[in-house]
Amino acid sequence: MPERRGWIRWVALLAVVAAVELVARFAFPFDLERVLVVETVLFLGAAFAITRLVARAPPKKRWQRVLQWVLAWSFALAAVRTGIWAAGQPVSRANGAVLVLGVVVLVAAWVRHRRRRA
């Protein structure tokens, strides 16, 4: 049963993210600024919740841990992108900032992995 409870938490988290996203986009008249603010808060909250889930019950297999951290960082980068876009910056500038930040995160993860192996 402990395995099932772990999966239920993950599925519930992703279902809440999807439901809030759908409500923000389709339940009310479309307003891009409101959608971007909701997405920024939603994605930051999802990234935080995923890091808490990973810390609470770390997976037994390495690929699962990597997948969970990739998901957490993806939500965090999405929050940064929508936050920059909501602040009035062009989409290309927001995408460039996320690209640079993503590369920095990957290099930092690689350096950390190399230090742990040594």
Q: Are 59 and 27 in contact (CB under 8 A)?
A: no
pLDDT tens-digit readout, 37-52? 999 999 999 999 999 9
State the average pLDDT over residues 65-87. Answer: 90
Among candidates 21, 2, 8, which has minimal Cα distance to 75?
21
pTM: 0.81
pLDDT tens-digit readout, 14-33? 999 999 999 988 888 888 88
Q: How far apart are CA 71 and CA 105, in angstroms?
A: 13
Q: Are 83 and 43 in contact (CB under 8 A)?
A: no
Q: What sign results for the dihedral spanned by CA atoms 95, 101, 107, 109?
A: negative
